[in-house]
Chain A
Amino acid sequence: MNYPVWEPFMLGGGMVIGIIAILHIFVSHFAVGGGLFLPMTERKAYRESNPALLEYVKSHSKFFVLVVLVFGAVSGVGIWWSIGLVNPEATATLIHVFVWGWAIEWVFFIVEIAAAFIYYYGWDRLDARTHLAVGWIYFGAAWLSLFIINGILTFMLTPGRWLENQSFASAFFNPGMLPSCIVRTAVSVALAGVYALVTATTIREMDLRTEVTRYAAKWLLAGALVIPLAGIWYISILPPMARETSMGAAPPVTIFAALSIFFSLLVVAFTFFGPYQHPRYFNLTFALLLAVLALSTTAVTEWVREAVRKPYIIYNYMYANTLRLGEIKRVEQQGVLKSALWVREHEVDPQALVRTGEDVFRVECASCHTVNGYNSIRFAVKGWSEAMIDYQLLHLNELKGFMPPFVGTEEERKALAAWLASLNPPSGMMLTEPPAPGHHAESNREGATRP
């Protein structure tokens, strides 16, 4: 409402964030887990006096730097860039609440980056003890950065007591923080195994290759063992509606949640019967397939985590279209066009109802819907008459629990309905007709103000 709306054609803003975020998450968890894997394996090599294993750790650290320091760092910035473009109001709110949290995370980034470079360039410059210490410093800083960002992320779904007291401590130590932190730490360990399985296949010497493959598989399995336990804890603290959404109430979300479990089980099964039991037969193709499967698991899981937060972007505080719950009455009274800054007209023009409706769509719906692409609104209203669309808008949050209510005046709603109806020129048959108009006149006001 406060900011102009950018519509990245077919993708929609949410998808732009999603694509960048999923790739980043897949790499950034490796940044943490891999950060544990390196010093642990280096120490193992010293203890076992195994120079060949140490050579492997060296080559793995090069791979690590190229993946983590470059792609991990830049894609992390990319998430920040994209959320600022797609949801500036929510981003600004998060920054107001958490700026010192982010500033602390920034300190950990500095330590992390410095340690990673010194670890990588320091193989021949530092004595073994110091080199190992630098590795541990890297891991400590990397895990602490995860600890911080995890608190900010979980705040959006479970803001807890912050809604009452607006304190930093309540916001950060929200109900979801701890279980999610354990899940993410376990995912990091598992992903360290996934990446190590990839680099293990490049080892030429067969005995070492077998040893490292099996060792990497153990990392993956160990992480995977903890994920479901902490995951159940995490699910138990979710707001009831979010839990229900993932367990049957919204079929697409439920399907994705089931896929997340299915993919995870596949990864574990493939790892157990493949590299763990038969490390000699494990090769690069298999390793890459496993990595793709792990990436798919990340993608669907993160998608579900985002989806269950609907209709909010900050639970019980701000809707997905960045309208604060506290603002609804005001916007209801003065109308959405008068409240929004970035529209062409601030009044409904009866002569150009469709054009006005498009403006209403842009400020109120475009944060989730595109016209023709992802979550297409044209497709969503296909076959509906204008009266049917208007009825749906009137009871939006009641009919579709994962959507915010339509907020605005009756004229604005009619204008939006007119524009939506114009997207699919009538083909002669309308599938549905609403109950008699006027029947729910009262519930409009109620529905709009109810969260």
Chain B
Amino acid sequence: MNPVIPAPVPVPLPAPAWLLQFLLVFTFILHVLPMNFLLGGTVILTLSGFLGCKRSRHRELAVRAARALPPVVAFTITLGVAPLLFLQLVYGQLFYTSSVLMAWFWLAVVFLVLIGYYGVYWFNMQQDELGPRARWVMLGTALVFVLVALIFSRNMSFMLRPEEFYASFLKHKVGLIVGPVGAADIARLLHFIVGSLAVAGLGLAILSRTWSREAPDLAVWARRYGVKWFMGATAVQIFVGLWFLTSLPVGIRHLFLGGDALATAILVAAIALALVAMMTALRNLALGGACLVGTLVLMAVIRHLVRVAYLRPYFDPRALPVEGQWVVFTLFALLLVAGLATVGWMLWKFFLPGSARAASGQAG
């Protein structure tokens, strides 16, 4: 059966497809950094919280690290807006269809994120009142975010399978359709979750450096603890990633195994960078962190190539009519630079040593 795919909107794209695809991947990278830290971080802190019954360092880590989470949730959400915007622009007819078919689950994301967000604040603000119950709050929060990851992963996979849309539409009620789940889908979800544990582990190690003055012992321990999480998760990732690769359809897998020189080179480079990160993280955290970010960047590109390969038989956005809105685009680019500069200025003022004012006196 020919796949049923809605026609693209009869309004031209406001920029060439390549630029929109670039922005899609670029802003996805911005989103994926805090998102991984959040997802992996809540899982790690939950485990630390439970281990902390007997070991106080684990508990202290959970309490301190959780303070960083509210801004991380905020930036995960905000930075996630742009990639989803460009995704809807370029691949809207696929994305909306899979979203509508699984509407109840997709809408649930909003409520789950709200619960998870307040969970993070609850954990932070009611630490003393909650006592040992706080770790249950963190467990709930982690579960909520894992569920969000599951729904996202499902939709992002489902939208690549338009040949399944109509058949599942005929069989089930619109809103409750989750599409076919195969090995590739499970491997994909696992790949992302394990990846988030690695990122969060290294993120915790980096975060712990900011405590080195107030809690030097904890900082030293937390750094090793975070790096261990990173190394362990990355070691597991070797197997999960391999499984993910082998579970992809033959034609797509082949691209990354020599079929396409560029795709293969990017995959090899990504794996090599991850291995370098593993080898250097314990001795040189900055280098390890940089290599991990490099891996993430390349993995985001690979993710895009996989998407393009899946959709090749059905849809090529480069064929869509374009009427560039270059004046507004330039305004966007300029404002982005100005906006980031403003944020940079505020952060500089905030973290500038000696910027702290005396608690009293500022009003006088």
Contacts and interface: CB of A to CB of B under 8 A. Distances in A.
Indicate whether A and B interact: yes
A124 interface: yes
Interface string A227-263: 0000000000000000000000000000000000000
Interface in B312-364: 323, 325, 327-329, 331-332, 335-336, 339-340, 342-343, 346-347, 349-350, 355-357, 359-360, 362-364
Interface stretch (B94-102, B215-223, B230-238, B294-302): B94-102
Contact of A77 (B110, B121, B323, B325): B110
A126 B355 contact: yes
A110 B78 contact: yes
Contacts of A80: 81
A151 to B, nearest CB: 12
Contacts of B340: 110
Contacts of B174: 4-7, 342
A106 B363 contact: no
Given A7-B175, A73-B74, A100 B14 contact: yes
B350 A121 contact: yes
B335 A92 contact: no
Interface in A70-111: 70-71, 73-75, 77-78, 80-82, 84-85, 88-89, 91-93, 95-97, 99-104, 106-111
Nearest to B349: A130
Given A49-B363, A92-B9, A114-B347, A6 B103 contact: yes
Nearest to A127: B357
Contact of B357 (A81, A113, A125): A125
Contacts of B13: 96
Contacts of B96: 3, 84, 88, 91-92
Contact of B342 (A6, A104, A137): A137
B333 to A, nearest CB: 9
A355 to B, nearest CB: 13
B103 A74 contact: no
B99 A66 contact: no
A128 interface: yes
B82 A106 contact: yes
A122 interface: yes
B88 interface: yes
B93 interface: yes
A152 B339 CA distance: 21
B225 interface: no
A46 interface: yes
A69 interface: yes
A106 B81 contact: yes
Contacts of B349: 118, 126, 130, 134
A72 B117 CA distance: 12
B258 interface: no
Contacts of B81: 77, 80, 106, 109
Contacts of A8: 103-104, 175
A54 interface: yes
Contacts of A66: 121
B117 to A, nearest CB: 5
Contact of A95 (B4, B85, B103): B85
A4 B363 contact: no
Given A4-B101, A92-B88, A114-B343, A74 B175 contact: no
B325 A168 contact: yes
B25 interface: no
A166 interface: yes
B92 A51 contact: no
Count class of interface residues, chain B: 35 or more
Given A99-B89, A100-B331, A121-B350, A3 B103 contact: no
B257 interface: no
A286 interface: no
B93 A101 contact: no
Nearest to A45: B363
A277 interface: no
Interface residues on A, range: 35 or more
Nearest to A90: B9
B169 interface: yes
B170 interface: yes
A344 interface: yes
A2 interface: yes
B357 A118 contact: no
A18 B109 CA distance: 18
Nearest to A93: B9
Contact of A125 (B75, B104, B356): B356
Interface string B106-140: 11011001100110010000000000000000000
Nearest to A88: B96
B37 to A, nearest CB: 16
Interface in A317-373: 324, 341-342, 344
Contacts of B10: 324
Contacts of B350: 118, 121-122, 125-126
A153 interface: no
B89 A96 contact: yes
B170 A16 contact: no
Contacts of B355: 125-127, 130
Contacts of A192: none
A-B pairs with lowest CB-CB distance, top 5: A88-B96, A100-B328, A2-B6, A96-B11, A78-B110
Given A6-B174, A77-B81, A128-B362, 4 more contacts: A96-B11, A99-B86, A113-B74, A127-B357
29 contacts: A4-B174, A70-B114, A70-B118, A74-B117, A82-B110, A84-B99, A85-B106, A91-B88, A92-B9, A95-B92, A96-B9, A99-B86, A100-B14, A100-B328, A101-B328, A104-B328, A104-B332, A106-B78, A108-B339, A109-B81, A110-B79, A110-B343, A113-B75, A114-B347, A117-B70, A118-B350, A124-B357, A134-B346, A342-B169
